[in-house]
Amino acid sequence: MTASILVLTLIAVLAFIAVRAHRSGRRRFRPEQFRPAAPFAGLLPTDRDRERQVAELRALHDARADVHLSLR
């Protein structure tokens, strides 16, 4: 009996938190992040290709110190 009341209370609290977060718009996760094609849709915050290229070039053992200036 006590366990049932505890479980029902937990479910009620979680439901209250979910409804309140939904109404105020302060949800931590957005539903569009979990679409099946989300990783392929480019839902990343910024384009990081240049930073990735600079990091890869700097990792080479014979890379110049100003390698980032030679990229367009």
Domain boundaries, the chain: 2-31+48-69
Instruction: Band the pLDDT of 8: cuts 50, 70, 90.
Output: very high
So what's the pLDDT on residue 28?
66
Task: Name the pLDDT band for 38 (thresholds 50, 70, 90).
Answer: low
Specify whether the CB–CB gap between 27 and 19 falls below 8 A: no
pLDDT of 12 reads 95
Highest mean pLDDT among 2-6, 27-31, 53-57: 2-6
